[in-house]
Structures are given as C-alpha cells and as structure tokens.
C-alpha cells in the first residue's frame, strides 16, 4: 500500500495545473457562499433584539420571522438562489472532475491542454455518472425516513431518538464513502476508455486495499488540519497567517494525492 501512496504523491506533484484550478474553484465558491450568507444574516442581526431587551421583544421577533417565512414570499428569492447555486455546483463538479481524471490518464499531453480537453470530451459521461451517484446515495433515505419516523414516535426525547439513529447514520456515511470510491474508479475507466464492468469487478475484488488506502490518506488530511490549526495558535503572528492562508492549497493537494493514489492502485490491479 505504501508503494501506491508514494507513486500517488509523485503523480500528484505532476498535476500543479489541476491542483491550482481546483483551489481557485473552491476559493471562489467559498467567497460566493460567504457573500450570500452575509447578505442574509447581517440585516437580520441588525434587527435582532439585544440582551438588554425584554423577553417579549425576542418572542415578537421570532413570531415576525415565522410569519414572513411561511406567510409571505420573502424566502422565495433566497430559495431560487440556493437552487441556482446547487444546479451550478452539480454542473461544475463533473466538468472539473473530467479535466482532472483526463489529465491523469493522458499525462503525456500538455497540462493545461489535457485538462480542458478532458472537460470538452468527458463532461457528459461524467455528468451522467455524477447524477447516478447522487441517486444511489439518496436511495437509502426511502427506507431511512420511515425508520426515523417510527423511532421518533416511540421515544420521549430527541436525545434518545438521536442515539437510536446514530448506527443508521453511520451506515449511511459508510455507504456514501464506498460509493465515492466506486465512482472514482468508474471515472478512471471512463477517462481511460476502459470497460466499466471490469472496473467494478476489480473494485469488488480489491475493495479492502482500496478502502484502506482511502482511510490512510483521509487520516493524513485530518493530521495536516490538526497540525495547521495547532501551529496557528502556537506561532501567532505573520507565520501563523501564512500557514493559515496556505492551508486550503495544501488541502487541495491532499485531495489530489488521494485521487492519484487510487489511480495508481486501479492501474496496478487492472493489469493483474
């Protein structure tokens, strides 16, 4: 497994264009969401009654907010904005994935050229696979919602209901994690124009090292985050500011490292 981690690291080092594009995308997306939330919360907080106000003032504020949300069309514009952002996210994510995965499978081409060529040639199949993954991720909710309703009906407190739901929620997380890895390998096959069925069979046969590799790099990402935030508290000042500002770039490199390590494993197991 360490060989895949090492080879994946050097492969990720050869993808600076893709890492920078993904970093800029995440930074721009975060700034857009921040501005949207700020435009909603700042005017709201200006009207929020302070701690010196009587309790009736807070109750009036909450009642007014409830009335405006459910009896007027005040929330409609914000809901349309959220729907538009969600649609844009669902379109941009497979487009960028197409560029990244095509870059991995066509490393002999120029970095920028192969990235945009991947977007041009693979956006549609990657969009289909992305939508299929979303549908498969949501399928267990058809069974989980009635289960949650029955648990809430039997329990006397939200805390007890949450404790009973935790195993099912962890199961959903595990299921989503496996789907993420499966569709990552499927996208390798799409980008390399190799049979998807054989890739799925290979994934099932070698699921243990695939999951183990993913968990190893996930722990490395968590360790980096912990070290980064600890360093910002210990070395307060300019150095801490530089480390904090560079963390998203390091995080994006680790994300690319996780993909390239899986790609190295996929390539090795597919040829065996």
> 51 vs 57, 78, 188, CA distance in Å?
10, 29, 56
> Which residues, 6 or more positions from 9, have their beta carbon under 8 angstroms from its beta carbon?
257, 260, 261
Q: What is the pLDDT of residues 194-232, one digit of tens each?
A: 888 888 988 998 899 999 999 988 888 888 777 777 776
Q: What is the 3-state secondary structure (H, E, C) of 67-115?
A: HHHHHCCCCHHHHHHHHHHHHHHHHHHHHHHHHHHHHHHCCCCCHHHHH
Report the largest interatomic distance among the alpha carbons of the chain, rounded to a whole angstrom. Answer: 73
Q: What is the pLDDT of residue 44?
A: 65
Range of 172's domain? 2-270
pLDDT of 62 > 70? The answer is: no
Closest alpha carbon to 184 in 117, 102, 262? 262
Two tokens at 121?
């040639």
Q: What is the pLDDT of residue 71?
A: 64
Q: How many domains does the chain have?
A: 1
pLDDT of 169 > 80? The answer is: yes
Q: Roughly how many angstroms between the first and final C-alpha of the chain, as a whole number?
A: 16
pLDDT of 241 > 80? The answer is: no
Q: Give Cα 227 distance to the centre of its chain.
A: 21
Min mean pLDDT across 135-139, 178-182, 235-239 is at 235-239
Two tokens at 204?
């099932």
């Amino acid at each position: 497994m360490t060989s895949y981690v090492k080879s994946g690291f050097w492969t990720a080092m050869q993808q600076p264009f893709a890492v920078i594009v993904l970093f800029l995308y995440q930074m721009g997306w975060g700034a857009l969401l921040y501005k949207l939330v700020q435009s909603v919360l700042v005017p709201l907080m200006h009207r929020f009654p302070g701690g010196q106000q009587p309790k009736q003032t807070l109750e009036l504020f909450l009642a007014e907010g409830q009335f405006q949300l459910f009896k007027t069309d005040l929330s409609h514009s914000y809901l349309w904005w959220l729907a538009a952002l969600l649609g844009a996210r669902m379109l941009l994510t497979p487009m960028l994935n197409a560029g990244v995965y095509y870059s991995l499978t066509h490393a002999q081409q120029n970095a920028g050229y192969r990235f945009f060529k991947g977007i041009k040639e693979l956006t549609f199949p990657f969009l289909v696979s992305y939508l299929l993954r979303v549908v498969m991720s949501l399928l267990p909710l058809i069974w989980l919602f009635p289960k949650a309703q029955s648990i809430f009906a039997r329990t006397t407190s939200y805390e007890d209901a949450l404790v009973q739901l935790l195993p099912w929620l962890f199961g959903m997380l595990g299921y989503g994690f496996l789907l993420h890895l499966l569709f990552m390998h499927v996208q390798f096959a799409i980008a390399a124009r190799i049979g998807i069925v054989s890739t799925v069979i290979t994934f099932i046969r070698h699921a243990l090292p695939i999951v183990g590799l993913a968990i190893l790099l996930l722990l490395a990402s968590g360790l980096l985050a912990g070290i980064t935030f600890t360093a910002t508290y210990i070395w307060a000042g300019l150095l801490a500011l530089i480390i904090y500002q560079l963390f998203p770039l390091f995080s994006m490199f680790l994300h690319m490292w996780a993909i390239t390590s899986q790609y190295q494993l996929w390539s090795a197991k597919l040829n065996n």
